[in-house]
Structure 1
Amino acid sequence: MGPLNIEPFKLFEEAQKFQKKMMAGMQVLRTLDDVEFGCTEKDEVYREDKLVVYRYRGERKPTAKTPTLIVYALVNRPYMVDLQEDKSLVRNLLAQGEDVYLIDWGYPDQADRWLTLDDYINGYIRRSVDAVAKNAGVKKINVLGICQGGAFSLCFTAIHPHKVKNLITMVTPVDFHTPDNMLSNWTRNMDADLFVNTIGNVPADLMNWCYLMLKPMRLLQQKYVGMVDILDNKVELENFLRMEKWIFDSPDQAGEAFRQFMRDFYQGNKLVKGGLKLGKHEVDLKNITVPVLNIFAEQDHLVPPDSSRALKGVIGSEDYTQIAFKGGHIGIYVSGRAQREVPPAIHDWLRARA
């Protein structure tokens, strides 16, 4: 290795620029208020335990005759789909004329320790779907499942196909045993029974650190080093802090539901292999014969594209469409490209099946 070519004058210039940036950033930080999230007005239409179903209000009445219910994952808060005015899947779907509802799961506590996946899917989701259908005056609704919520939506549609008109899945894991699935590889030999029996509900902080460890350099070092570049830009800094607030505002996980999700999905891969049972119901994805739109992200480190692509070969529907989005697991909701491409694609697909 040759000698390092360091010019003292340039090094001094960089140090001065950094100092000025930090001083300007300190001034900006003094002017910041607590960042808010959720830009779209909404009304509560159903409540049960900690769950609330909201209907969003757009600037004009929806033109879609069939409402769409967003089923988000349990592991994060659902306001990622309505983060801010220029980064809102909900707002853009409303602008397209869709009638949008969403399940907010709330924050589980020790009272929820024994909730099972059957409780979530055949209980909460079923009753939420019924509430939306009743509110809209229809018999069937569209379901849009995101990430883990997409896996739940697949199970729900397989068991209750008569309640769903169209199914949309976004960044949804289907085959949990693809070679590039790091989360699956990590948890494949985990003793889920010992884990849950020991700690009960799974703390949100533990889950967050597991996700961060998938890309420790990018998510724990480079991100905060890069933050220095925007310290003197109030808008960009508020956007950064809003995202950070979402990342660390995660609910705990109900212990029993977590145990079953680990054993049956990540370890047993039963969603595609078969043998998945929720309460008295067997889950057979071949029972899904409604139109399906599957959207996945090509640079997704949490749900590899091949995991989502597997959906095509395991459902019974002859009307299947998939869209590969050029971005990552979070970018599919908040990037500028996502705002331009994803909501219109969903709307056009639904309109063609109205």
Structure 2
Amino acid sequence: MSENALELLDPEAISQQVRREVDRALKRNIKGLDFLVADREPVGHMPKDVLYRDGTAVLYRYRPLLDEIYRVPLLVVSPPTNRGYIFDLAKGQSFFEYLLGQGYDVYNLDWNPPRRDESVLGFEDYVGRFIPAALQVIEDKTGERDVSLAGYCAGGTLATIYAALDTTKRIRNLVTLATPIDFSHMHLFQTWADKRYFDVDLLVRELELIPPEIMLGAFDLARPANRTAGRVNLWTNMWNDEFVKSYRMFDRWAAETLPIPGAYFGQLIKDLMWENALVEGKFEINGKKAKLDNIDASILNVVAKHDHVVSHEATGPLMTMTSSNDRDEIVAKGGHVSLVAGPAALRRLWPHIDTWLGKRST
């Protein structure tokens, strides 16, 4: 930098910048030790009640915040690999808190870790048993047959398959968030599960329950530097209590990835990944084919612009292959998880979901 440029700098501004960086450096060292010895960050703060349990499935109803709520209840299906508290991470970062504050009657079909004897659970159970049972409990609770069915990631796939099989036409609205439908566009996973090298039957037979490390390994392949970059970013922001708190909550959620039943995993790989059976109209549940053109509910497809897990193209059939006359799509900034958690979604995305869903929930 030239002497003339230096003369233009404000000495007081330079002094403040130096003091700020020194202060942050000191805080990083102090708080770094606190981070290492701290208990797990608490997650999930909205009160809820258990309405139904069956095997790995558990249905929660979140207690309404308002006296006046929408007539049509909302059931959100969690991905079988992940715990549903991602929807209720923390005050001010909770998708469910936001929905409850807007007057929705919110239910969550969540999953517990499967036991060894539940390794035989497959799509017939998730779609043909757990979702319809949850819907019946909601109808018994509310007296309403119409329901909005939503799902995130693989939970959205389960919700879509159910809607494609539903002959009762009880699904009034289908809301999908980062939901894979056309698995030919899940390019990384196609490579990871290449049938020439991936002996899924051997894996299922030997392990029975597929450990979370198997799935996490696939995600790490998508962004091999993510873990290291995340740690570097954490250290850089160690002085920022709010950043650290948010990091620890997301880190806990990722660390608590669930094992999944071998039968479900085998169907996912062979039928959906290898055969793309849902798009081809060949995916069967209890002898009945799930046809996307059977879906005539209103559809809102929410996609993350920078999603490295589920591409926009992978969600495409929701907008082109169903029979719905009321289809909308939101392409939001951010990545895979940012659709359902975090203050950015609260500001930029969730109000748009509310606008769409509210007028279809009366």
Q: Does TM, normalized by the shorter one, top 0.5?
A: yes
2:286 counterpart residue number:
279
Equivalent runs, 1:130-279 vs 2, <5 Å: 130-161=136-167, 162-178=169-185, 181-189=187-195, 190-217=198-225, 219-279=226-286
SS at the partner of 1:296? Answer: strand
Q: State the alpha-carbon separation in 2 of the partners of residues 30 and 268 from structure 1.
A: 45
Tell me the alpha carbon deviations over residues 188-224 of structure 1, each in whole angstroms, 9 at most, x when there is no partner: 322322221222110012222221222111x221110
Q: Is the 8 A contact 2:55 2:118 kept in 1?
A: no
Normalised to the residue count of structure 2, the TM-score between the two structures is 0.88
Distance 1:177 1:323 in 2: 22
Which residue does the alignment assign to 1:87?
93
Q: Choose from 320, 324, 327 the match for 1:317.
A: 324
Counterpart CA distance in 2 for 1:225 and 1:172 is 30
CA distance in 2, matches of 1:19, 1:166: 51
TM-score (norm 1): 0.90
1:307 is aligned to 2:314: yes
Q: Provide the residue aligned with 2:107 in structure 1.
A: 101
Corresponding position of 1:5: none
Change (3 A) 1:228 1:276: same
Alpha-carbon offset, residue 22 of structure 1: 4.0
1:4 corresponds in structure 2 to none
- Kept in 2, the 8 Å contact 1:165–1:291? The answer is yes
2:184 alignment partner, SS class: coil
Q: Does 1:331 align with 2:332?
A: no
Deviation by residue 1:145-173 (Cα, 9 ceiling, x = unmatched):
11111111111011114221111111001
Deviations 1:92-116 (A, max 9, x none): 1111111100011111120111111
**Residue of structure 2 equivalent to 1:39:** 45
**Alpha-carbon contact 1:81-1:89 (below 8 Å) kept:** yes
Q: How many residue pairs end up in the alignment? A: 339
Mapped partners of 1:210, 1:317: distance in 2 = 34
8 A contact 1:173–1:303 mirrored in 2: yes
Letter in 1 for 2:334: G
Distance 1:26 1:312, change over 3 A: closer
* Structure 2 residues not aligned, in runs of 5+: 1-18
Identity of aligned residues (%): 27
Give the secondary structure class of the aligned counterpart of 1:315.
Answer: coil
Shift of 1:351: 2.6
What one-letter code is carried by the residue in structure 2 that aligns with 1:127? Answer: A
Q: After the TM superposition, which of the residue ranges 159-168 and 243-252 deviates more from structure 2?
A: 159-168
Corresponding residue SS for 1:118: helix
CA contact (8 A) 2:94 2:342 kept: no
Are 1:96 and 1:343, in contact at CA under 8 Å, matched by a contact in 2?
Answer: no
Shift of 1:143: 0.3
Structure 2 residue matching 1:142: 3-state secondary structure: strand
- Distance in 1, Cα, partners of 2:51 & 2:229: 42
Q: Deviations over 1:296-340 (max 9, x none)?
A: 111101000111123211111111111111111011122333112
Q: 1:298 corresponds to which residue?
A: 305
User: What amino acid sits opposite 1:204 in the alignment?
Assistant: P
Distance 1:338 1:21 in 2: 29
Contact 1:96 1:344 in 2 (8 A): no
Q: Output one character per residue of 1:218-276: Cα deviation in whole Å (capped at 9) or x when no partner.
A: x2211101111222333321221111110010111100011001111111111111211
Q: Do the aligned partners of 1:28 and 1:234 also contact (CA within 8 Å) in 2?
A: no
